[in-house]
Amino acid sequence: MFNYRIAEARTAKGWSQARLGKEIGSTQQQIARYESGDNDVKSSVLLKISKALGVTVTYLLGMDATAEPNTNTVDTPLYGSIAAGTPIEMMPIEDTQPIPAAVHEKHPNAFLLRVEGESMNRVLPNRSYALVDPCDAIEIDGAPYAVCVNGFDATIKRVRRLNNGFQLVPDSTDPTYETKTYNYNEPGTQTITVIGRVVYYVLPFDWEF
């Protein structure tokens, strides 16, 4: 049995199973099977359902048991890739992804960056989209931040302030990822530039376990 939350989101929007089926090019009977958990839902179908009902795929997957159906979303720019592992050059991506309107209201200038790697997998799944609220300083010591390394490479790590530098700390189930210290007292140390604090994340429509 699969524990999708399609019925909750559909009811919150005031739609019948037949209406949802029509909106995504399916049938009432198929929607009933999805809602009962008898049938697995392909990622392409989850994408259609999430767009039709105005909720995130994360919600439909039941990954946040405390969440309430939120039919209000805001398309947020996805600007490029960012490594949560070995830093890589950010690559711009012209795309958008919906986030809850309540989150957008709290962070109206935030943007999304794709997470690539496992070094932050306790809090940010590989291939998720991290919502980054722009800032140029570490406001919360030890919180996840997107930073540039040496001006052009980018990564997400927990960042600790030092007297004259920073530590970039992984948060991973893989112990081979190690903390890196950038001590500006040592000649040749790469410069760390803060892009913004990671405040939320969403999963892409085609995300799978």
E runs forming strands in 84-140: 88-89, 92-100, 111-116, 129-134
Our separate counts of H helices and E strands in the chain read: 6, 10
pLDDT for the residue 91: 59
Numbered ranges of CATH 2.10.109.10 in the chain: 73-202
Say which CATH class 6-60 falls into.
Answer: mainly alpha
SS3 label, residue 158: strand
7-11, 87-91, 124-128 — most confident range: 124-128
21-30, 73-82, 135-144 — most confident range: 135-144
Q: What is the pLDDT of residues 29-78, one digit of tens each?
A: 999 888 887 778 888 888 888 888 888 888 888 776 555 555 577 888 88
To which CATH superfamily is domain 73-202 assigned? Umud Fragment, subunit A (2.10.109.10)
Distance CA 73, CA 64 (A): 16
Is the pLDDT at 89 greater than 90, yes or no? Answer: no
Contact 24, 48 (CB under 8 A): yes
SS3 label, residue 4: coil
The conformation of residue 194, written as its DSSP 8-state character, comes to E
pLDDT for the residue 45: 87
Distance CA 26, CA 17 (A): 10
pLDDT for the residue 149: 92
Numbered ranges of CATH 1.10.260.40 in the chain: 6-60
Helices (H), the chain: 6-13, 17-23, 28-36, 43-53, 57-60, 101-106
The two three-digit tokens of residue 79, written as one number: 């600007």
Taking the alpha carbons at both ends of the chain, their separation in whole angstroms is 16
State pTM to two decimals: 0.67
Q: What is the pLDDT of residues 141-199, one digit of tens each?
A: 999 999 999 887 789 999 999 999 999 999 999 999 999 999 999 999 999 999 999 99
The two three-digit tokens of residue 75, written as one number: 């398309």
